[in-house]
A and B are shown apart, each in its own frame.
Chain A
Amino acid sequence: MMLAAEKIEFSYPRADVLKKISFALSEGDCLAILGPNGAGKSTILKCLNKILVPQKGVVYINGTDTSSIDNRMLAQTVGYIAQRQEHSRKTVFDVVLLGRKPYIKWDVTSKDIALVEEILQAFGLDDYAMRYTDELSGGELQKVMIARALAQQPKILLMDEPTSSLDLKNQLEVICTVKEVVQKKGVSAVVTMHDLNLALRFANKYMLLKEGQVFAYGGPEIITERAIKEVYDVDVAFVEYEGVPVVVPL
């Protein structure tokens, strides 16, 4: 298994957030973590790459316990895109170049520069290379963040609500980019989302989270009207469009 979590538990001083979360992903798998606000979606992602350290349970990457992996080595395997992007005024090129941080010994090499150029080209961002990130639209910025994570040459990509602040067009663009990366580069992805329909378009595994616990985990078959009612307390119906199930709130 590329990435596996075994009964991970995490709590803040005054609140239990995660209870016995387990899942396993193979190469090329894409897991969408779904659930209402405060269910613990972001906390799971943070526990997977040691941003937070779970109090109980183990996270494995290729069979190795992540607690025994050095931070720098872990960053060469796992790319992470935070929900809230904080950045000072930097060019797109410099932001993507920062993705080479886990490999930099003294300074960036010509190999690092070449790789960044290649990624920018692949993402259609080469015209933006010398522009500052605060001049970009939300969709462009999100693409830059994915490009930065890919500059880490990761095997696993973690994305915390990558589409939450984007308009419909940009949501689709970002999700298509992620899907392409997963398919072409063979990376595994874990994505937290709110939009069930968007999730149903690209993920092959799903986790429904309720109050810090796994309510359901598996393929698209777990996304049912009953499950959504239980987790979100909303009545929905399913219709099918071009073979893809579409969730319609009632």
Chain B
Amino acid sequence: MVREDAITAKSASYHKYIVKKKLIILLLVVAAVLMAFLSINAGAISISLRDVVATVLGSGDDRTLAVVKNIRLPRVITGMLAGAGLSVAGCIMQNNLRNPLASPMTLGIANAAAFGANVAIIVFGAGSILSTGLGEVQISNPYLVTILAFFFAILSTVLIIALARLKSFSPESIVLAGVALSSLFSAGTMMIQYFAADTVRVAAVIFWTFGDLGRASWREIWLLAALTLVSLGYFFLHRWDYNALDSGEETAKSLGVKVEKVRLGGMFVSSLITAVSVSFLGVIGFIGLVAPHMTRRIIGTDLRYLIPASAAMGGLLLLSADTISRVIISPQTLPIGAVTSFLGAPLFLYLLIRGYERK
């Protein structure tokens, strides 16, 4: 009887522990949704929060509806999806490679996509920029830029995985392959820009690399949504495999996990998310590094809860960064890639320093 009581008490405390984690996820989701409303509300054209809610619920005036439906809502949904996707991609890369510094950015996938954009804009002339009334620049052929950015991001992923397989897929070899390819693509980008005959094209490609959530149209959002949701489902399905991987490769194998297969799948899907996000939106740095680390500190390392929480945190952070970038010197918009990097670089340095201290 005493033993049964003790077991019941233990069960109750574990149950409480699980409920707490679920509550944290719920809070993050609520915070992301609130941020979404704030983000729709913020911008050069003033729309009250009440009008935002009314418009989203389908009862706003035509002018507000046009601004919300055509500009702000797509931007907010893109931010949520790209933030969630990049964050979970980083979370899975860090788990799969057992390296806290792994992320779409540090593995060089973003640099590969930027190289693709350079090829499209400078070599193929997709970047004859147009000056708008506000003095902004637009890419004249965004599809070619997106396609080439995507192609090189995927090529980089395939190369990293192929190179890593030669070294029996050890996490170290994947990170090293990522670093090497990243340097290679950066060098390629420099060369293209150096030999570019048209400085306007160089300006256009620099503009592209800033990253912009406003680039995605509804058609692209649907594709981004489908891919992000399917990928999140895939990761969630493998959450127990990733938990086992957290205990080391040998332990994971002894628990029945097909380590190489799980790692290959995880890396491929997270690279795919990155490739699509970067090719649609440009380089958005550090969300894939910062968001999973912040989430881990709040909810712990259990992938059952870390995956959904990282998704919510990524969406929340990217939306916050985008809102800051739009309101801080309104009506001008700061490049989102710079804002996320300002947020992420100090954390990256902190992780490096902490890593050395531990050694």
Per-position binary interface string of chain B over residues 247-278, scored 1 when its CB falls under 8 Å from any chain A CB and 0 otherwise: 11011011111100000000000000000000
Hey, which chain B residues are within 8 Å of A78, CB to CB? 254
Inter-chain CA distance A90–B296, complex, in Å, is 11
Is A135 in contact with chain B by the CB < 8 A criterion? Answer: no
Residue B356 at the A interface, CB < 8 A?
A: no
- B10 part of interface (Cβ distance < 8 Å): yes
Closest chain B CB from A10 CB (angstroms): 15
Give the nearest-CB partner of B15 in chain A.
A113
- On chain A, the residues within 8 Å of B255 by CB distance are 75, 98-99, 101-102, 152
A142 within 8 A of B: no
Known A88-B301, A98-B255: A117·B11 in contact at CB below 8 Å = yes
**In the complex, what distance in Å separates the CA atom of A120 from the CA atom of B9?**
13
> A20 at interface (Cβ–Cβ under 8 A)?
no
Complex Cα spacing A202 to B17, Å: 39
- Across the interface, do B254 and A87 meet the contact criterion of CB distance under 8 Å? no
Residues of B with C-beta under 8 A to A91:
17
Residues of A within 8 A of B243 (CB): 98, 101
**B302 at the A interface (CB under 8 A):** yes
User: Inside 8 A of B3's CB, which chain A residues have their CB?
Assistant: 121
**B246 close to chain A: CB less than 8 A:** yes
Q: Does the CB pair B246–A88 fall under 8 Å?
A: yes
Q: Which of A33-92 contact B (CB under 8 A)?
A: 46, 49-51, 70-76, 78-80, 82, 84-91
Q: Is B14 a contact partner of A113 (Cβ separation < 8 A)?
A: yes
Which residues of B sit under 8 angstroms from A51, Cβ to Cβ? Answer: 250, 253-254
- In the assembled complex, B300 has its CB within 8 A of some CB on chain A: yes
Interface residue? A206 (CB, 8 A): no
Q: B-facing mask of A176-206, CB < 8 A → 1, else 0?
A: 0000000000000000000000000000000
A82–B10 alpha-carbon span in the complex (Å): 28
Collect the chain B residues with CB atoms within 8 Å of residue A129's CB.
Answer: 10, 13-14
Q: Which residues of B contact A90 (CB under 8 A)?
A: 246, 300-302
- With A117-B7, A121-B7 as given contacts, are A71 and B244 in contact (CB-CB < 8 Å)? no
For chain B, the bracket of interface size reads 20 to 34
Verify if A235 is at the interface (C-beta below 8 Å from B).
no
Q: Does A104 contact B (CB under 8 A)?
A: yes
- In the complex, number of A-B residue pairs with CB atoms less than 8 Å apart: 92
Size of chain A's interface in residues, with CB distance under 8 A?
Answer: 43
Most buried by A among B11, B244, B250, B257: B250
Contacts of A114 in B (CB 8 A): 7, 11
* Residues in B whose Cβ lies below 8 Å from that of A104: 240
Interface presence of B6 (CB below 8 A):
yes
Closest chain B residue to A83, Cβ basis:
B250
Query: B14 to A74, Cβ gap below 8 A?
Result: no
| Bound Cα distance A86, B244 (Å) | 11
Q: Say yes or no: A130 contacts B13, CB within 8 Å.
A: yes
Instruction: Report the Cα distance A90→B243, complex, angstroms.
Output: 10
Contact of B248 (CB < 8 Å), options: A74, A85, A94: A85
B6 and A126 form a contact (CB under 8 A): yes
Q: Of A75, A89, A121, which contacts B301 at CB under 8 A?
A: A89
> How far is the CB of A122 from the nearest CB of chain B, in Å?
10
Is A89 a contact partner of B300 (Cβ separation < 8 A)? yes
Determine whether the beta carbon of A82 is less than 8 Å from that of B301. Answer: no
Which residues of chain B from 294 to 335 have a CB within 8 Å of any chain A CB?
300-302, 304
Closest to B9 in A: A126
A118 at the interface (CB under 8 A from B): yes
By the criterion CB–CB under 8 Å, are B10 and A117 in contact? yes
In the complex, A152→B251 CA distance in Å? 12
Residues on A with C-beta less than 8 A from B10 are 93, 117, 120-121, 126, 129
Scoring B residues 41 to 55 as 1 if CB is less than 8 Å from chain A, else 0, what string do you get?
000000000000000
- For the complex of A and B, the 4 pairs showing the least CB-CB separation, nearest first, are A75-B256, A86-B248, A80-B254, A72-B256
Q: Jot down 28 A-B pairs with beta carbons below 8 A, ordered by A.
A: A46-B250, A49-B253, A50-B253, A51-B254, A70-B256, A71-B256, A71-B258, A75-B254, A75-B255, A78-B254, A80-B251, A80-B254, A82-B251, A85-B248, A87-B246, A87-B248, A90-B300, A93-B14, A98-B247, A101-B240, A101-B255, A102-B255, A120-B10, A121-B10, A126-B7, A126-B10, A130-B13, A130-B17
> B residues near A, CB below 8 A?
3, 6-7, 10-11, 13-14, 17, 98, 240, 243-244, 246-248, 250-251, 253-258, 300-302, 304
Which residues of A are in contact with B by a Cβ distance under 8 Å?
A: 46, 49-51, 70-76, 78-80, 82, 84-91, 93-95, 98-99, 101-102, 104, 107, 113-114, 117-118, 120-121, 126, 129-130, 152, 158
